[in-house]
Structures are given as structure tokens and as C-alpha cells.
Amino acid sequence: MEFTVLKKNLSRLYYSYVKKYIKQILVSLLLSIVVAGSTAAIAWLLDPAIEKMFIQQDKTMMILIPIAIILSFAGKGTALYFARVVLIKVGSQIVFTLQKEVASSILTSDVHQLESKHSGQYLSHIQFDVGQVNQLVSTGVLNIMKDTFTLIVLVALMFYQNWKLAFFALLMMPLAAIVAKSLGKRVGKATKESILLNANLSSYLVEMLKGSRMIKMFQREKFELDRSSKILEENMHIRNKVAFIMIRATPIMELLTGIMIAGFIYYSGFMIRSGEMGINNFFSFLTAMMLAYQPIRSLATINMLIYQGGAGAERVFKILDLKPNIKEESSLSNLKINTGDIEFRNVSFVYPKTNDAAIKDINITIKGGSTAAFVGHSGAGKSTIINLLPRFFDPKQGEIEIDKQNIINVTLSSLRKNISMVSQDIILFDDTVRANIAYAKLDASNEEIEKACDFAAATDFIKDLPASYETMIGENGIKLSGGQKQRVSIARAILKNSPIILLDEATSSLDSESEEKVQNAIINLTKNKTTLVIAHRLSTIIRADRIFVLNKGKIIDTGTHDQLLKNSTIYKNLYSKQLSA
């Protein structure tokens, strides 16, 4: 990571997230000064301890100095504990804020932005990347303050004891800084690799868990184990790489310290022999110098922690900086539903990062309260039309109106409030049956929920569940059958009571018995509602008021079922194939 980029990320991190906790950081700063003073006191007390206790054998000092040493250690430990507590709380609060903002960014992002990245990578942002920032704030900031002050106070003590030897000891510091700068850039680069590999691992684990049945069915356990071993091995290597860089300073620092202490002892010998330095000053100075080793070593590696935190912050900020094109505009008016008429005028759409139009020049009018069906081969553009109405995407050109109101000129919340969708891709949460249905209306009464279930033909099977409405249904409703999940989904849509209903292959994966029950539920759901239906099974749309036949993104025929059997070659072929099947 370039220094300018690192500086920019750290500056944003400070002003946007850390600065508001400056009072707590100042408290930690004061406690760090206490830690530094206590550390210096321990080293300084060796001077009178040797002189008064061992040389002069002062009985009073034999009691007072050990007590002072105990108090110094106690003061250091207590101050360090509370300094860490304060910054741990600050770090945790910043993690909470960042994770909340990432979650908010994900929830408000455009559909195409979310679908352009694997879900496992978003998990990595929330957990791993934000964790790197937490390490920087809760550990890095404390180390910078504590070790800087400790080093300053110990160096001051060394100058107080003997300024000549202190200058000799200071030779080590610029060498340590050179080592730190060199290793910091390497650890920053390795951390970026580590973040990417961690995101890939998260993505793979998500896929492996979702595809567990397919893996077993195709007997690919060994293949996936080998695949996972490769990914895990790459992660192991990069973790080792980061760890090795982090400890690479250790032998260098040990060597520098050894040279310094050896030179110090050699030079001190001459000074003690000449009477320029007492043995008590020697031990006090030596203790101060040894105690200074830890903060020097810590500060020599602190920039590695800074690079790691900066790399994590950079990836988090990229998510936070995503600006949705489709967003709530409070200045717009709310959608007002009268009859529920829908009109597409010259609508065309191209999916991001593709060149071919998914739909071209679509012109359709759907009367309020009627049912319109869309049929055609896969890839004809049926789902695209459905997805444009709630503004999951916006058309590249053309206009879509509901009751003469352009949907881009009304608030997003009022538009989606008036639309319900039941899809073949059923989304249920790992919660109770009741909670999944009430997701459409969080303040719904038990009576409203049960009434919705009656209309959705779901009451009977729900009452047979172990805890009825309070039964936990597992991840994405895994404890329910396909038909049961679909009826829960329909009950949720009924509870929402929207005037416009979108049905996207709602019965495509059901057996005949389940399909019949779901069809009856759909009839209750769509009664007197403007309904747009996509179905491969043409038997489910025979009663539609109007059927639109699509081919390669264009509407080529329209009419009722009977009219299309007579006039549409594509529709007739589709219907004939399904009859023969």
C-alpha cells in the first residue's frame, strides 16, 4: 500500500470514527503516562536500593524501598489494565459502527452491485477487515502511547544517570526505525494478500455449505476436500508469511540490543574503575536500558499493525463508498394507487457489464385488477420485466407507469409497499413460522397472521408442526417441504395486502398435489389484484386475462390463451410440447 493511500485511510478513520472518542483516548493517554512513570520508577529505585540497602545497609530503606517497588509495579499494572479496558471499549464501539455501516451499505446497495461480488466476501469485510481495524485501534493506539511515553521517561532517566552512556544507548533507535520502515511495507503487501485469500475462503465455505446435498449426490467429497485443502493451504502460507515478517525484526533487534548492552558494559567498566560512575548508577542505568528494550521493540513493529489496519480500513471504505443509483428520495411524492393500471412504454434494458439488451422496446398495458402472464423460452426477458417494476433495476430507456405515475418519480418505499412478490427462489429466515410470515407486517396480530395462513392453505400443515406457529424452520426453511415453504411465502404476501402481485415461477418446482394447493392459495392472493405472472407451466396461466409471448427480449404476440393457440406459433409450440410431456 502506498504511503499516501495509507495516510488517507488513517485520516478518514480518525476523523470519521476515532475522533468522537478523544476523551476516552485522553484518559488512556494519562494512564499510559502513569505506566511510563511507574516503569521509570522501578529502574530508578535500584539506584538507592543498592546504595542504601547493600552498601550503607540502612534498615529503614530496607523496608521503604521494597514497598516502593511493590507500589510501582502495582501502579503500572493497574494503570495498564484500565488503559486497555478503555481502548478495548473504544475499539469495540468503532467495530460496531463500521459493521453497522457495512450492513446498511449492503442493504441499500443496488441489486447488481450486490450480485457482482460473492456473499462470502461481504462476510470477510464485516469480520476480518473490520477486525484488522479493531486491532489497530484497541492495540496499536495503546502501544503507541504507552511505549512512546515509557521510552521517553526511561531515556530521560538514563540521561539523568549518565549522559555519555545515554548517547551510546540512543544509537540503537534510528537503526530500529530503519528496520521497522522496511518490514512495514512488506507486511502491508502481505496483509492485502491475506485479506483476499480470507475472502476467497469465506466464499468457498458458503458455497460448500449451500451445495452439501449436491456434493453428496455427485460423490464429490474427495474433490471438495482437495479443493478446500488447496485454499486452506494458501491461507496457511500467507498467514505464515505475515507472521514471519512480523517476527523478522526480533533477531535484528536482539542483535542490536546485544551489541548495545555489550558496549555499555565494556564502557561502564572503565567509568566505574575511574570513579566516574558508581555501581548503584550502573545497575539503575542497566535496568532502565533493559526496560527500554520492550517499547523499542514494540514501536519497531507498530507500523506493521498500522499497515494491517490501513489495509482493512481501505476494503471497508470501498463498501461504504458504494453509492446506489436506485435509492430513496424523500423529496418525491408517494405512489397513489387508484385502479392499479400498469404501463410499459418503449422500455429497454441492458444488464450491467453486458452488451446485449435483455428486453427491447417493450410496450404493454395491464389493466388494474387483471392478471397478465409472460411466457417464452428461457432468457426471453420475462424475469427482467418483473424485476423492473419494483425498481430492482431501472430501464435503460423508456418509462414505466402505475396509474399514470412514473415509478422513478415516486418514493421507493411507497412503490415497494404496494407490490408483493412470490418467487420460485423462496427466501425464509432461520426463525419461527410466525416471524417469517409477520416479516411482511411486523405489528401484525395473531388473528391477521392466522387469517393469511387460512387464505394461503397453510394452516393445516402449520398446526401439525411440533410447535405450530412457533416452530423454528431452519436456514431458508430447510425443515419444510417445497410446497410448505411456498405457502408460507404466499401467506406473507397475503399479509402484506399489496394491490400489485408479482409471481415468478411460483409453482415451477412443486409436485402435482402441492401445486394444486399452492394454486388455490395464489387464487386467494391475486383476487382483485393487478397480477403479473411468469410460468413455464402454461396450464397455470390459462385463465390469465392477457398473455404476452416474448422472444429474444421482444413481445411478439399477445392475447388470451385461446387466441394465442390460434395466432401464435411460439405459444402453440410451447403448449403442444407441455401437453405431449
Output the 3-class SS for 243-294. HHHHHHHHHHHHHHHHHHHHHHHHHHHHHHHCCCCCHHHHHHHHHHHHHHHH
Over residues 412-420, the mean pLDDT reads 93
* Confidence check: pLDDT of 495 > 80: yes
CA 32 to chain centre: 33
The three cell numbers of residue 447 are 388473528
* Confidence check: pLDDT of 480 > 80: yes
| pLDDT level of residue 465 (50, 70, 90 thresholds) | very high
Dihedral (CA of 488, 494, 496, 501) sign: positive
Average pLDDT over the chain, rounded to an integer: 85
Q: Could you give the CA distance from residue 358 to residue 393 in angstroms, rounded to a whole number?
A: 12
Cβ neighbours of residue 71 closer than 8 Å, sequence gap 6 or more: none
SS3 label, residue 418: coil
Domain spanning 3-320, CATH architecture = Up-down Bundle (1.20)
Residue 358 · residue 349 · CB < 8 Å: yes
Residue 550 pairs in a beta bridge with 555
Q: What are the strands, taking DSSP E only, across 317-413?
A: 342-349, 359-366, 371-375, 397-402, 405-406
Start and end residues for every CATH 1.20.1560.10 domain found in the chain:
3-320
For the full predicted model, state whether its pTM sits above 0.85. no
Q: Could you give the CA distance from residue 552 to residue 357 in angstroms, rounded to a whole number?
A: 9
* Confidence check: pLDDT of 173 > 70: no
Residue 422 · residue 357 · CB < 8 Å: no
Q: Could you give the CA distance from residue 248 to residue 84 in angstroms, rounded to a whole number?
A: 26
Q: Could you give the CA distance from residue 208 to residue 22 in angstroms, rounded to a whole number?
A: 44
pLDDT in tens, 334-373: 999 999 999 999 999 998 878 888 999 999 999 999 999 9
Spell out a b/e string for 326-346, using b for 16 or more CB atoms within 10 Å of the CB, else e.
Answer: beeeeeeeebebeebbbbbbe
Domain spanning 329-418+537-581, CATH architecture = 3-Layer(aba) Sandwich (3.40)
**Predicted pLDDT at 249:** 66
Residue 335 · residue 418 · CB < 8 Å: yes
Start and end residues for every CATH 3.40.50.300 domain found in the chain:
329-418+537-581
* Confidence check: pLDDT of 560 > 60: yes
Over residues 369-386, the mean pLDDT reads 89
* Confidence check: pLDDT of 581 > 60: no
pLDDT in tens, 265-315: 888 888 888 888 888 888 888 888 888 877 877 777 787 788 888 888 988
pLDDT in tens, 63-96: 999 999 999 999 999 999 999 999 999 999 999 9
* Confidence check: pLDDT of 567 > 60: yes
* Confidence check: pLDDT of 573 > 70: yes
For the chain, helix (H) and strand (E) counts, in that order, are 21, 10
* Confidence check: pLDDT of 418 > 90: yes
Distances (CA, A) of 567 to 375, 383, 570: 15, 24, 9
**Most confident residue range from 75-84, 104-113, 244-253:** 75-84
**Predicted pLDDT at 182:** 65
* Confidence check: pLDDT of 254 > 80: no
Over residues 10-21, the mean pLDDT reads 92
* Ramachandran class of 145: left when φ > 0, alpha when ψ lies in -120 to 50, beta otherwise: alpha
